Structure 1
Amino acid sequence: MNRSPVNQTLLKSISQSVSKNPSSLQTLPNSLINPLYNLLPHTQNPNKIVGIICTNLKERKSTLLDKDMIPHLGTQQVSKILLRCQSDSLAALTFFNWVKNDLAFVPTVHDYCIMLHILAWSHNFSKTMELLSELIELNKSTPGKVSIFENLVVCTKDCSWEPVVFDMLLKAYLKAGLVRDGFITFRKMIKLGFVPKIISINFLLDGLLKLNQIDECWGVYEEMGKIGIRGNTFTFNILTHVICKSEDVDKVNKFLEKMEEEGFDPDIVTYNTLIDSYVRKGRLKDAHYLYNIMYIRRVMPDLITHTSLINGFCKEGNVREAHKLFHRMVQVRLNPDVFSYNTLICGYVNKGMMQEARALLREMVKEKVFPNDFTCLVLIEGYRKENKLISAVNLIVELKKFGILVPKNLQIDLVVVLCRVDKPFAAKSLWERILQDGKETNLQIYDELIVSFCKSDNVNEAILLKDEMFFRNIKPSLTTYRTIIGCLCRLNRTMEGELFMRDMSEFGIHPDAMICRSLISGHCKEKNINQAESLLSLFAEEFQLLYNECYNEVFKAVCEEGDINKSLEFQNRMQRFGYTPNSLSFKYAIDGLLKATA
């Protein structure tokens, strides 16, 4: 890092501020030095602690200080020992770690900063960065966070120092994700005349960009110009992203000219970033203009460039132009990847041009570019949108022939859709193909298929599916039985429906109101009055189901026979089970009387 003349006025101001407000993470105890200590032998005199430790460090002794003298070691002594050892970074680091680890005290920020200067001066940059990261983490988690930068500045008065330590502080902040602290450090460095390296500035710009701090990015760039720091290709590529985020794309041409003035030609990353920005903002003409400029400036558009423009044309609905660009890409020997194909396929699908999209799919497979999940999703959704669900099923079959596995969830979703638009046979066919790929125990799909078959009165197919569930160890649901029983009763096969109801108990499933109504209604319609009455009794006794609606339907059928005594006897029998006649019951009774006397 370059060193420019340090601003002495600011330096003095910072020194006074720090001295008035001494700050530390944790301090060692400051002992009151007793003058009588001088009567003790040298090795037992607390006043000689600094000299004793320095001597022991110089002689590389393992024990730095007698344990009885440790309580007399204070913050002033720690600083003095570090300063005395600054020419021997190994000794200084040994002492610093001893204080930090063996004494279980956290040194002051000031002591950390002295140690950082010593390490940087000795060019031990890896250890310097490690210690900076440690100090930042400690300072971040301590109430009353202090300025590491200002403490580093103050320490320059007392020890040898290397200005690179300030640049390293900037990097350490950014490495820790503390972009705002890094930005503040950058501003302070500039004020004091310290010039950061361009690598650090690039990291700072990238961090500010990710936080969407657009104005701060331009502020850093302006400061670079004032202090004579030249950007590099990375700088300009980051600033290209800044331009795109700022929504002010009119600055682009001026910015490109500025790059050329600085001696940097915009590269493929620069152009791709700008073209992608234009496409996202709907400025396709400007994006295409830049595409042509790339050839003039001998920057060859790559796969990303073409895919961005193809996406732009497709968004505007101009898939023909997008396909022309696709062909041009192939002509210049750029092999389209799955993303290029997907972009164009998506464009065709959005225009409802499914034949063209399908043709592109075949071309992909021919060129050994295998479709991914997104390709399958786009095409299947396209057919669903066009209400061409059978074509979607055929697509899945075709892809399987090519050895391409369509995501199971897409196939299952299509089975459900087919069921709900009354195409149960197509749904079942697709489901059987899914089962060929592995074991599947999806109760919902079986219920969807059974409901769909029963809706179209194909109850035998539904019964076969229910049997298949048994062999696959899938427990039928209430919906399974309710649907099949309802369809059988509707088709005058109520006795079969009743057998299914009795089968439910084996699975611990009890009939509900809908099953009750279906069976009673079916028996009444088929004139099985005795069977209907038997079921009413069964529902009441075994399942505690008392539905007046079902009772009235049977009562109505009894009354229609015109036998008053039989009607009264039925009513008395049902009352014992808890069925209570209501106004509708009396209406049926009166209608029966009128019929009998007619």
Structure 2
Amino acid sequence: MHRIPASNLTKLSKPFVFLASIPKSNFSSASSSTFLQSVPRSETKLIVNPLYHFLPQNQNPFNIVELVSSHLKTSNTHLSLLQSDIKELLPHLGHREISKIILRCQSNFVSVLAFFNWVKFDLGITLNSQNYCLIIHILAWSRQFSMAMKFLSELIELSKDNASGSEDVFHNLVLCTEHCNWNPVIFEMLIKAYVKVHMIQESYESFKKMVKMGFVPSVIACNRILNGLAKMKCDAQCWELYEEMGRIGVHSNAYTFNILTYVLCRVGDVNKVNEFLEKMEEEGFDPDVVTYNTLIDSYCRRGRLDDAFYLYRIMFRRGVMPDLVSYTSLMNGLCKFGRVREAHQLFHRMIDRELDPDVVLYNTLINAYCKDGRLQEARSLLHDMIRIGICPDSFTCRIMVEGYGRGGSLISALNLVVELRRLGTIVTFDIYDYLIVSLCQEDRPFAAKSVLERIIKDGFQPNACIYNKLIECFCRVHNVSEALLLKSEMIRRNLKLSIDSYKPLISCLCGINRSVDGEDLMVEMVESGVLPDHQICRVLINGYCKEGNAYKAESLLVSFAKDFEFFDTESFNALLKFHRDFGNETELMQLQDRMLKVGFVPNSLTCRYVIHGLWKSARLDKRRVQAPLCQRG
């Protein structure tokens, strides 16, 4: 990092003007006494009683700074003994006094560091930003850069947690340069520290402030900001930064150009990419393997495989050897458009050129074969990678399992999982989740339950959704006893039961003429805070009607209307149909009157049932009248 001429500086504030106008040597020998007048007063209570001067030295609060400083200057960094001697004075050790002590001992960073840690850890005092800024400057001056970077990161966190909002760390560092030894590299370190904690905008702002002060950061620091902005898709700021780098004399390198090539490729403007590459070559930079890989990947993602392979051939002509990333991008592009055979041929070509494939490359091919339904080829590749010592990862397992699932071979998928686990592959919960759900979809609840029991033994904690799927599957095959056991297990595991847990159980119980048990479950559900829906209302009404218990069906329908404001016409019609089928005209009409009073609104099907019931009743009456006449005749 270097400085640009003072005539080019833009004046920000008095501290910045001061920095730009006095020689660097003056900063190094800045008087501590001047600083003591400008240090803000600490939270400690001011001592004004003159009688304190008659006290012994280790009991006079005025002497806290002198006592600690003298102890540190004797090269004795063990402060535990001093702590017992001055324990009565320690309540008077505030931020102002800490800063004074740091400044008095700044020529010995070991002493300063020992004091700082003693205050922070042994005394438990929360240090402020000024204390941090001083020790950071002293450590940087002493070329203890890793320690300075550690404290910079702490200072950034401290500034974020500040009650009054995020402090301006850069400004605080500048203010402290007036009073202690300092090294301008600290401002570049601040940029890197911000990038490290993903505060990219703050790092960019620090860069601009640094330039206004007259300092020029290195290309490494600029590239870190540029890379962060590129990842955040702040393209406009990327180009602003690049132009500013040129203006202040920061010479771009290959890494700079590769980042900007990536930005251009993401936008997809081919003309701009070509123009930029030409400019790059004019400035003396030949595209390297990273540049080519960025371009190839961009072309492959956009389906421009001919352009991608053209660059692949150009690489050889220019003496740039394609690497694993180059081949992965090309094979991904081919597989994306169903050209799996060509991707496999390229894979063999890569091996012939003595490049070792990795798990990502194998996964690319295996995934393509699985999606194409060619599980035998995928399995063969899996065995190849195991044979050469590449351990399949969770993604390999996932794509193979899903491939078998799509092919209707879930048993093969289960066997594969067992085999991969034996090889040390981590089988993630989502793979087991997929297997359980797929087995449930095939109405194989016992196999699904077996997988559930296995993952519980392995330490996985299945969620309520998995249990609900199993309950639904058991109910679908009319095995309500197993479904109820699973419900009990959910309660034992403190999993929250939802309407999806109860609905299949109630429906199944009503379907096997156990509507009373279904209603009991609904009562339990309501008591637990889960409200029923129209579907539960219908299955219970239909269940009671199926069992011939019209009275219970009606009382339950009225209860749904009054308690939950469910006026389900379909349930009402089911009850009407029951009375119509029994030909009870009087009960049919009375039921309709009672339901209208409750608030049910008839629809066309309601009218049809009533009319059909009346017509059926009229026909029966007519037959009864005609029967005696026939007998008399």
TM-score under structure 2 length normalisation: 0.62
Give the distance between the partners of 1:539 and 1:482, measured in 2 at CA.
12
Please list the CA deviations of residues 40-83 of structure 1 after superposition, one character each: whole Å capped at 9, or x if unmatched.
Answer: 79959988887666444434585499788889989887666544
Question: Which residue, out of 142, 151, 156, partners 1:136?
Answer: 156
How far 1:202 moved relative to its partner?
A: 3.3
In structure 2, the CA distance between the partners of 1:16 and 1:33, relative to structure 1 (3 Å rule), is: farther
Whether 1:124 aligns to 2:144 is yes
Question: Which residue, out of 344, 367, 378, partners 1:361?
Answer: 378
Partner residue in 2 for 1:454: none
Question: Which residue, out of 192, 210, 217, partners 2:213?
Answer: 192
Partner residue in 2 for 1:374: 399
Please list the CA deviations of residues 378-414 of structure 1 after superposition, one character each: whole Å capped at 9, or x if unmatched.
Answer: 5645xxxxxxxxxx32x33555666668955545555
Partner residue in 2 for 1:169: 190
Mapped contact 2:9–2:213 kept (Cα < 8 A): no
Whether 1:396 aligns to 2:410 is yes
Task: Could you tell me which runs of 5 or more consecutive residues in structure 1 were left unpaired when the two chains were aligned.
Answer: 382-391, 418-426, 451-464, 486-500, 521-534, 560-567
Whether 1:208 aligns to 2:229 is yes
Q: Give the partner amino acid of 1:396.
A: L
Partner residue in 1 for 2:577: 549
Whether 1:312 aligns to 2:327 is no
Q: Give the partner amino acid of 1:296.
A: R
Root-mean-square deviation (Å): 5.4
Q: Secondary structure at the match of 1:160?
A: coil
Q: Give the partner amino acid of 1:212.
A: K
Partner residue in 1 for 2:15: 15
Give the distance between the partners of 1:539 and 1:48, measured in 2 at CA.
90
Mapped contact 1:24–1:107 kept (Cα < 8 A): no
How far 1:444 moved relative to its partner?
A: 1.4
In structure 2, the CA distance between the partners of 1:178 and 1:468, relative to structure 1 (3 Å rule), is: closer
Please list the CA deviations of residues 250-294 of structure 1 after superposition, one character each: whole Å capped at 9, or x if unmatched.
Answer: 444455556666776544444333222222233333222222222
Mapped contact 1:3–1:194 kept (Cα < 8 A): yes
Mapped contact 1:26–1:105 kept (Cα < 8 A): no
How far 1:482 moved relative to its partner?
A: 4.7
Mapped contact 1:341–1:364 kept (Cα < 8 A): yes
Q: Secondary structure at the match of 2:329?
A: helix
Q: Secondary structure at the match of 1:477?
A: helix
Mapped contact 1:287–1:309 kept (Cα < 8 A): yes
Mapped contact 2:327–2:350 kept (Cα < 8 A): yes
Q: Give the partner amino acid of 1:14.
A: K
Give the distance between the partners of 2:432 and 2:129, measured in 1 at CA.
59
Give the distance between the partners of 2:366 and 2:580, measured in 1 at CA.
61
In structure 2, the CA distance between the partners of 1:240 and 1:14, relative to structure 1 (3 Å rule), is: farther
How far 1:540 moved relative to its partner?
A: 8.9
Give the distance between the partners of 2:485 and 2:68, measured in 1 at CA.
84
Identity %: 37
Q: Secondary structure at the match of 1:242?
A: helix
Q: Once structures 1 and 2 are overlaid, which stretch shifts more, 503-512 or 232-241?
A: 503-512
Give the distance between the partners of 1:541 and 1:76, measured in 2 at CA.
79
Whether 1:183 aligns to 2:211 is no
Give the distance between the partners of 1:248 and 1:37, measured in 2 at CA.
79
Mapped contact 2:515–2:544 kept (Cα < 8 A): no
Mapped contact 1:5–1:193 kept (Cα < 8 A): yes
Partner residue in 1 for 2:568: none
Give the distance between the partners of 1:415 and 1:146, measured in 2 at CA.
56
Question: Which residue, out of 55, 73, 86, partners 1:58?
Answer: 73
Mapped contact 2:219–2:252 kept (Cα < 8 A): yes
Mapped contact 1:33–1:46 kept (Cα < 8 A): no
Give the distance between the partners of 1:584 and 1:313, measured in 2 at CA.
67
Q: Give the partner amino acid of 2:306.
A: K
Mapped contact 1:3–1:163 kept (Cα < 8 A): no
In structure 2, the CA distance between the partners of 1:307 and 1:547, relative to structure 1 (3 Å rule), is: same
Question: Which residue, out of 42, 51, 69, partners 1:27?
Answer: 42
In structure 2, the CA distance between the partners of 1:334 and 1:87, relative to structure 1 (3 Å rule), is: closer
How far 1:185 moved relative to its partner?
A: 1.8
Mapped contact 1:411–1:434 kept (Cα < 8 A): yes
In structure 2, the CA distance between the partners of 1:28 and 1:17, relative to structure 1 (3 Å rule), is: farther
Count of residue correspondences: 509
How far 1:179 moved relative to its partner?
A: 2.2
Please list the CA deviations of residues 346-373 of structure 1 after superposition, one character each: whole Å capped at 9, or x if unmatched.
Answer: 66787xx64xx34533433553566522
Please list the CA deviations of residues 500-530 of structure 1 after superposition, one character each: whole Å capped at 9, or x if unmatched.
Answer: x37976996798433455466xxxxxxxxxx
Give the distance between the partners of 1:180 and 1:360, measured in 2 at CA.
48
Whether 1:513 aligns to 2:530 is no
Task: Could you tell me which runs of 5 or more consecutive residues in structure 2 were left unpaired when the two chains were aligned.
Answer: 20-36, 387-391, 421-426, 455-466, 489-501, 523-538, 560-573, 596-608, 628-633
Structure possessing the higher radius of gyration over alpha carbons: 1
In structure 2, the CA distance between the partners of 1:594 and 1:25, relative to structure 1 (3 Å rule), is: farther
Give the distance between the partners of 1:379 and 1:188, measured in 2 at CA.
59
Mapped contact 2:401–2:413 kept (Cα < 8 A): no
How far 1:18 moved relative to its partner?
A: 9.2
Give the distance between the partners of 1:337 and 1:302, measured in 2 at CA.
12
1:138-537 matched pairs, under 5 angstroms: 138-140=158-160, 141-143=162-164, 147-231=168-252, 234-256=255-277, 266-316=287-337, 318=339, 321-322=342-343, 324-326=345-347, 328-329=349-350, 331-332=352-353, 340=361, 343=364, 354=373, 357-365=374-382, 367=384, 371-377=396-402, 380-381=405-406, 392-393=407-408, 395-399=409-413, 407=431, 409-411=433-435, 413-414=437-438, 427=442, 442-449=470-477, 477-483=505-511, 501=513, 512-518=540-546
Give the distance between the partners of 1:177 and 1:293, measured in 2 at CA.
37
Q: Give the partner amino acid of 2:472.
A: Q
How far 1:212 moved relative to its partner?
A: 2.2
TM-score under structure 1 length normalisation: 0.65
Mapped contact 2:507–2:518 kept (Cα < 8 A): no
Q: Give the partner amino acid of 1:169.
A: L
In structure 2, the CA distance between the partners of 1:553 and 1:314, relative to structure 1 (3 Å rule), is: same
Mapped contact 1:110–1:155 kept (Cα < 8 A): yes
In structure 2, the CA distance between the partners of 1:149 and 1:517, relative to structure 1 (3 Å rule), is: closer
Give the distance between the partners of 2:92 and 2:47, measured in 1 at CA.
8
How far 1:203 moved relative to its partner?
A: 2.7
Give the distance between the partners of 2:263 and 2:220, measured in 1 at CA.
17
